[in-house]
Amino acid sequence: MRMHENATDEEIALSARKYRQDFAILVERYQDKLLRYIRRIGAGEEAEDLLQEIFINAFRYLNGFDPSLSFSSWIYRIAHNTTISAYRKKKIRPHGNLIEDGDEFLANIGTDEDIATELETKCSVEEINNALLSIKQKYRDVVVLRYVEELEYKEISDVLKIPMGSVASLLSRAKKNLKDEISGKSK
Amino acid sequence: MTKVSDTILKKIEQGKIEPMPVWTYTAKNILFWSLWALAVLIGSIAVSAMLFVVTHAPWALREVTYETTAGFVLDLLPYFWVIALGLMIALGFYNLRHTKSGYKYSLAIVILLNILISIILGAVLFIVGMGEIAENATGKLPLRESIFEMQANRWSNPMNGLLAGEIVDILSADDGEVILTLTAFDDQDWKINISDLSDEEIQEAKIGNTIAVIGLSEQSIDGQLSMYACAFLEWGECCDEPLVSVREIFEDDERTTNCRGVRPFEALRRLSH
C-alpha cells in the first residue's frame, strides 16, 4: 500500500519494510541530494552506479533503521560508507568536483575570521576543490557535511558515527588545514 | 516513479533482495554489549588481583629482603595485571563503540566509565577472594611470576643470606650447638646453624614448620650446603601482623660476631613484637 506523499521519511521507511513500493518515495526524495553528496566526497563517473548501490544497501538494511535517528542522517551514513568502501575496494583516491560554488562555500565556512582575512585574493572553485582534495578524508567528510550539505553537529555525529565532541574538533582542525592549503597555494 | 527508483525496485525484485531480519541487528547489539561486559569483568578481575598483590606484598620485610625501595617496588609491580587491565579497557571501548548508540560517547567518557566500573567491581571481587584465585591461577603462565613465586624466589637466595624452607630435622649437640635441617623450595637440604639465636627461638623451631632464614651461607668441606642463621621468621601470611620476632641473642657478650653487619638488624628489630 503506498504511503501518502506527505508522510515523513521516517514513516515511509517503517512502512517500506512491509510495502516495498513505498521505498520508491524515499528514492525519489533523496536521489538528487545523495548524488550531489557522493560527488562532493569524491565520486566521479561511477557516481550513478554508486547511487544505485547506496539505495539497494539502504533497502537491505531497512530493518536496522533506528527511528530515534532522522532518516536523512541514516541514509547519508549509508551513502558515506558505501562511497568510502568503493574507494578502498578499487584503491582509488577521491576525485572530481567537491563543490560547485566557491562563494557559497566560503560564506558558510566564513564564520571563521582567520580564513576570511588570510586570503588576499578570491579563491576559485578549482582552488577550493584542490584544497579539499588535499586534506585528509576525515577532515573532508566533516567539512562537506557541515558547510556544503549544511548538516547540524548532531546529524554529522549520526552520519559518521562519532561523538559530537569529535565532530567539533575535527571541524576545527579541518578548517585550519584548509586555511593552510588555500593560503599556501595562493602565495 | 522516476527512472532511478524504477531501476532500484527492479533490481531489488530481480535480485530477490530482502531487508536483513531484525534479529540480526538485535543479536549484533547484544553481542557487542556482552563483549563489553566481558571485557569489564576481566578488567575487574585484574583490579582485584592487583589489590591482592599490593595488600599481600611483604612490605614489612622490604628492608630485610631488598637493597632499595625502588628495587622492591619494581619487583612487586603487577605488570601482568596492569597490561591485562589496559587491554580490557581498550577492548571494552571498542565493543561499546560498536553498539547501537555507543558512538555518541567520547573516548574519555567511555574509558573513564570502564575504569570506574572495573575499580568498583574489582574491589568487590577482591573482598570475596577472587584476587587471590586469579593471582594463583595465572601464576603458571609462561613468563609470569605470581607474588607467591616472587617471594619464594627472593627467599631462595642463600648466597645473599636469604633462604626459606621446611624444617625436617633438629639436632642439638651437647656443646649447645643447634643445627636445623631445612629442605629449601628447590628440594635441596641445608644445614642451618641457629646457635646464635635465643633459647626462645630455638624452642620455636619445630619439625614441619616453614621458616625464612637470614644469615650467612657457609662453605663446607664435604659439600654440604649450610648456613649460619642470624634470624629467622615464620613463613606464611604476612603483613596483618608482624612475623615471629627476631630472636637473636641480645647480649653482646653471648653473641658471636658472625652476623655483625650482615643483616639489617634494626629493620628486623622493628618487626618484633
A20-29, A163-172, B65-74: range with lowest mean pLDDT = B65-74
Collapse the DSSP code of B217 into the 3-class scheme (helix H, G, I; strand E, B; otherwise coil) and give the result.
strand
Contact criterion met (CB < 8 Å) for A59 and B19:
yes
SS (H, E, C) B227-249: EEEEEEEECCCCCCCCCCCCCEC
- Looking at residue A108, its pLDDT comes to 65
Question: CB A23 to CB B17 under 8 A?
Answer: no
From residue B114, give the alpha-carbon distance in Å to each of B38, B41, B83, B176: 11, 10, 15, 63
Written as one string, the DSSP assignment of A155-174 is HHHHHHT--HHHHHHHHHHH
Which of B6, B17, B22 shows the shortest C-beta gap to A59? B17
Please list the residue range(s) of chain A that carry CATH number 1.10.1740.10: 9-90
Which among B1, B15, B20 has the least Cβ separation from residue A64?
Answer: B20
Using a CB–CB cut-off of 8 Å, the residues of B that contact A are 1-2, 4-9, 11-13, 15, 17-22, 24-25, 100, 103-107
Which stretch of A39-53, A89-103, A108-122, B240-254 has the lowest confidence by average pLDDT? B240-254
Q: pTM for this one?
A: 0.78
Residue with cell 592549503: A181
What are B214's three cell numbers? 637470614
| Chain B residues touching A57 at Cβ < 8 A | none
Q: What is the pLDDT of residue B231?
A: 80
Nearest to A163 among B8, B18, B106 (CB): B106
DSSP string, A1-67: -PPPTTS-HHHHHHHHTT-GGGHHHHHHHHHHHHHHHHHHTT--TTHHHHHHHHHHHHHHTGGG--T
| Predicted-complex ipTM score | 0.79
Q: In degrees, to the nearest 5, what angle opens at C-alpha A108 toward C-alphas A107 and A113?
A: 70
Residue A123: which pLDDT band, with cuts at 50, 70 and 90?
low
- On whether the CB atoms of residues B191 and B226 are closer than 8 A, the answer is yes
The reply to whether residue A64 touches residue B106, judged by beta carbons under 8 angstroms, is no
Topology classification of domain A102-186? Arc Repressor Mutant, subunit A (1.10.10)
Residue A165 grid cell: 565532541
Instruction: Find residue A184's DSSP bridge partners.
Output: none
Q: Would you say B49 and B231 are in contact if contact means Cβ atoms under 8 Å apart?
A: no
Rounded Cα gap, residues B91 and A57, in angstroms: 29
CA distance B118 to chain A (A): 23
Q: Residue B2: its pLDDT value, please?
A: 65
pLDDT (0 to 100) of residue B252: 54
CA-nearest residue to B101 within chain A is A161
pLDDT of residue A27: 95
Lookup result for grid cell 567537491: A98
Which one has a higher pLDDT value, B112 or A5?
B112
The residue type found at B7 is: T
pLDDT of A184 over the 80 cut: no
pLDDT value of position A120: 45
Given an 8 Å threshold on Cβ–Cβ distance, is A56 in contact with B21? no
Q: Does domain A9-90 have CATH number 1.10.1740.10?
A: yes
Cα dihedral A114, A117, A120, A126 sign? positive
> What confidence tens digit (pLDDT) does each residue in A30-60 have?
999 999 998 888 777 888 999 999 999 999 9
Instruction: List CB contacts of B34: < 8 A, sequence separation 6 or more.
Output: none
What share of chain A has pLDDT > 90, as a percent?
A: 44
Pick from B8, B15, B104: which is nearest to A27 by CB? B8
Rg value, chain B, Cα = 30
How would you write the pLDDT of chain B (273 residues) with one tens digit per residue?
568 899 999 999 999 999 999 999 999 999 999 999 999 999 999 999 999 988 888 887 787 778 788 988 888 888 999 999 999 999 999 999 899 889 999 999 999 999 999 999 999 999 999 998 998 888 878 877 788 888 888 889 888 888 999 999 998 888 778 889 999 999 999 999 888 777 777 777 889 888 888 888 876 667 788 888 888 777 764 433 334 444 455 555 555 677 766 655 555 555 554
* Per-residue confidence (pLDDT) for residue A164, from 0 to 100: 93
Kindly list the residues from chain A whose CB atom is less than 8 angstroms away from the CB atom of residue B12.
20, 23, 56, 59
The residues of chain A that CATH labels 1.10.10.10 are: 102-186
Question: Residue A109: pLDDT band by 50, 70, 90 thresholds?
Answer: low
